[in-house]
Structure 1
Amino acid sequence: MRLQDAESHYRFLRMSRETFDALVAKVAPALKRRSYQSVYRPEISPGERLALTLRYLATGNSQVSVSFSFRVGRATVCHIIRETCAALWQVLQPEYVKGPSSEEDWKGIAREFSKLWNFPNCVGAIDGKHISIQAPASSGSSYYNYKGGHSVVLMAVCDAHYRFIFVDIGNSGRHSDGGVLSNSEFGRALDAGKLGLPSPTTLPGTAIEVPFAFVGDEAFPLQRNMLRPYPGRNLADPEAVFNYRLSRSRRVIENSFGILAARWRLFRRPIIASPDHVVLFTQAAIALHNYLRTTESTVYCPRGFSDAEDGAGNVTEGAWRSEVDGDNGLSRIGSVGSNMYSRSAATCRDTIRDYFMSSEGEVTWQYHHIHRTEY
């Protein structure tokens, strides 16, 4: 495949030969700490260890199946996957999964959301998923979630280009309420005002200042720096327009999770591993996702693979949806916050609602979508 069949090589390892070789060069130093050489067998090279791990993440097959495919002992496969996933996170995370470190970084994310999704002062889309796992030994109900299975929780924030900028992995599945957000490092930093978000700035074309904020669905609490939809049905036009505009931006995180599960099929069924190992596997897959979104985006996520919009806001669903339809490896979390909110949080949401109804902030097709008429 390396020499004669580039397409099969990509399908086998989820990356081109050139990208694979570049990745081997990056992780090889971290993989040379342990040698599997003995008098009875040759050394397993860093490239072979990486290929074995990528194949495991790409297929989601059992480690026993991988051991037969690569003709490596089952225990050796377990060690290789665990150590290679740790090496991938160690090497790739500082460069490809790093959160914004300055106000200008946050403003850059906000500019992309405004440019691509017409939502000003948005610094990320947030969502959470249950990663389905086999019931851990002697864990009782610690990882048992309200959906009737066992899981660990993945909380993530992404930018406008489907790249994860914050991830929090490992909360046990039983935390399906406000504890998920408040117990995460991101949630604590948000509450304490330690994310380094820029000061409030004016909405485009106006003198009205509003804070920078993340967008989430109805599972998340309404805060000054966290926006969620207006509740209820049969809403008036201003609230319906706000919900429509927010849903367009929030769709980014939905696509990020969908692309992740479609490319790394480990997440399309319950993972047979301890929770600690599941965290390692998830970290590696997210690091690889961001690495490939950055280095060979058009191959990893070609045109039509993610959701797309035309000039009238009509959505064409991405191909990833047909690939992961019916899978139960990643499922939605429940409410992660109460419905209580401050007056200042409500004022921020109302201000943006009114802006979307003004000539400076509206998009021409928004009324047709909330009334479901032709445009």
Structure 2
Amino acid sequence: MDPVLQKVDEAIILIALRRQRRRQEEERSRRRHRYWVHPMVSHRVSTGYFHNLYSELRIYPNKFSNFTRMSVARFDDLLERLRPRLTRMDTAMRNSISPEERLLVTLRYLATGQSYATLHHYFLLGVTTVSRVVKETCVAIWEELHNVVMPEPTEEIWESVVDTFWEKTQFPNCIGALDGKHIRVRKPPHSGSSYYNYKKYFSVVLLALSDANLKFLLVDVGAYGSQGDARIFRESTFGRRIHAGQLNIPESRPLPCTEEPSLPLVMVADEAFGLAENLMRPYSRYGLNRQQKVYNYRLSRARRVVECAFGVCTAKWRVLLTSIHLDVENAIKVVLACCVLHNYLRDNDNSNVEPEPSQQSQRVQFMDLRSTARVMSIRNQFAAFFESPEGEVSWQNDFV
């Protein structure tokens, strides 16, 4: 081999080895923590949000409510429910984060949707610490509250819901209003189009059944983006339970002020859902007669409560209006925590936020199942009831 070429090869190999060694040293330098505790974080007790604002916020209830989205009394009650799960042990190296601060950080994240980096600068906690605190607290909120404020519906609960719907919306035999929303999430790594929906962004789907008091009776959060809208509801846990008759729905009964026929208790939904025995949707929009128009109007009045429930929930917990930059599992925990907090405050707080239209959480389109003659007959009987003396209300004539 030519000595000159041999020397050139050796020089190239030497340069490559030096570059590789330099990259390894840079990688080790990046991995090496510069501080055991960052100087900013070490001043948390003297300059952090919690230690400077928490006590003062409690003096001014309006400011406290604006910061946490709940009253002082509700915060204290929630804190006592969660305290055993949020308490950590102090060590010789550092003091633990108090349950009060853990809850305040989490509520601020849910209320604003601010990034962990932003909360790090406000509360002077490490970004990783903020992430862990929010995840653990959201899990605690869901597990401690959902059996209290969103229990599994029983026949007694369904009966109460039916009475409230008839009183407030004049829709009979109604056990809830059903709808779904896309909640934006960050694209999961190596997921392809698994979470990509027809709106051209990545999302998980929140399905919810609401009562006439804007409380969620049932919620289901899942990722169905790549399956197509026609299969979302059918393949959700929620949808399977509805069509399998696993929700303890009471037996059919006559409509108010009538003796026959007996009609099933139903959920109301928009035209994106398929018509089923326990699920009523509007007639198609074209070529309607008066009776069908009245039915669509009455159903719309009952169905809008779930839209209002979504509006109230997202107005308080604005993380649902942002793109949640967490992995899907943690994003689902955040959404579930928001839902049970919504119910918790509907039960206990007098200050209710008015619903706002949401541009970020888009409505979901579902399957359009072929309806049987029996199911269509049930819908026709509801429509006939709204035109009868027993079911007619004075204001529906102003609509038609």
Q: Return the TM-score normalized by structure 2.
A: 0.83
Q: Could you say which residue in structure 1 is the equivalent of 2:377?
A: 347
Q: Could you say which residue in structure 2 is the equivalent of 1:358?
A: 388
* AA matched with 2:139: A
Task: Give how far 1:216 is off.
Answer: 0.2
Q: Distance in 2 between matches of 1:116 and 1:272?
A: 39
Structure 2: give runs of 5+ residues left out of the alignment: 1-55
Alignment map for 1:250-265 (pairs within 5 Å): 250-265=303-318
Task: Give how far 1:234 is off.
Answer: 4.7
Indicate yes or no: 2:147 matched with 1:94: yes
The C-alpha deviation readout for 1:93-141, integer Å capped at 9, x for no partner, is 011012312x222111000000000000000000011111111111110
Indicate yes or no: 2:227 matched with 1:175: yes
Indicate yes or no: 2:279 matched with 1:226: yes
Q: Could you say which residue in structure 1 is the equivalent of 2:329?
A: 276
Q: Could you say which residue in structure 1 is the equivalent of 2:131?
A: 78
Alignment map for 1:277-316 (pairs within 5 Å): 277-296=330-349, 298-301=350-353, 305=354
SS in 1 for 2:351: helix
SS in 2 for 1:174: helix
Task: Give how far 1:82 is off.
Answer: 0.2
Q: Could you say which residue in structure 2 is the equivalent of 1:136?
A: 188
Q: Could you say which residue in structure 1 is the equivalent of 2:238?
A: 186
* AA matched with 2:334: F
Q: Could you say which residue in structure 1 is the equivalent of 2:398?
A: 368
Alignment map for 1:320-339 (pairs within 5 Å): 320-321=355-356, 324-325=357-358, 327-328=359-360, 330-334=361-365, 336-339=366-369
Cα pair 1:176 1:333 within 8 Å, conserved = no
SS in 1 for 2:152: coil
Q: Could you say which residue in structure 1 is the equivalent of 2:254?
A: 202
Answer with 1 or 2: which has the greater Rg: 2
SS in 1 for 2:334: helix
The C-alpha deviation readout for 1:299-346, integer Å capped at 9, x for no partner, is 134xxx2xxxxxxxxxxxxxx32xx45x31x11112x22241111110
Q: Could you say which residue in structure 2 is the equivalent of 1:163?
A: 215
Q: Distance in 2 between matches of 1:252 and 1:179?
A: 25
Q: Could you say which residue in structure 2 is the equivalent of 1:24?
A: 79
The C-alpha deviation readout for 1:131-190, integer Å capped at 9, x for no partner, is 111111111100000110000111110111111111110223223423221222221121
Task: Give how far 1:30 is off.
Answer: 1.6
Q: Could you say which residue in structure 2 is the equivalent of 1:12?
A: 67
* AA matched with 1:9: F
The correspondence for 2:103, drawn from 46, 50, 62, is: 50
SS in 2 for 1:114: helix
Structure 1: give runs of 5+ residues left out of the alignment: 306-319, 371-375
SS in 2 for 1:300: coil
Q: Distance in 2 between matches of 1:64 and 1:40?
A: 24
Task: Give how far 1:38 is off.
Answer: 4.3
* AA matched with 1:284: A
Q: Could you say which residue in structure 2 is the equivalent of 1:120?
A: 172
Task: Give how far 1:232 is off.
Answer: 2.1
Q: Return the TM-score normalized by structure 1.
A: 0.89
Q: How many residues are matched?
A: 344
Q: Could you say which residue in structure 2 is the equivalent of 1:248?
A: 301
The C-alpha deviation readout for 1:212-247, integer Å capped at 9, x for no partner, is 000000010001100000002352110000000000
Runs of 4+ in 1 over 6 A off after TM superposition: none
Q: Distance in 2 between matches of 1:111 and 1:44?
A: 46
Task: Give how far 1:191 is off.
Answer: 1.3
Cα pair 1:2 1:17 within 8 Å, conserved = no
Cα pair 2:183 2:203 within 8 Å, conserved = yes
Q: Distance in 2 between matches of 1:189 and 1:18?
A: 37
SS in 1 for 2:182: strand
Q: Could you say which residue in structure 2 is the equivalent of 1:213?
A: 266
Cα pair 1:15 1:300 within 8 Å, conserved = no
Aligned identity (percent) is: 38
Cα pair 2:58 2:64 within 8 Å, conserved = no
Q: Could you say which residue in structure 2 is the equivalent of 1:267?
A: 320
The correspondence for 2:120, drawn from 59, 62, 67, is: 67
RMSD after superposition: 1.3
Tell me which protein shows more helix as a share of its residues. Answer: 2
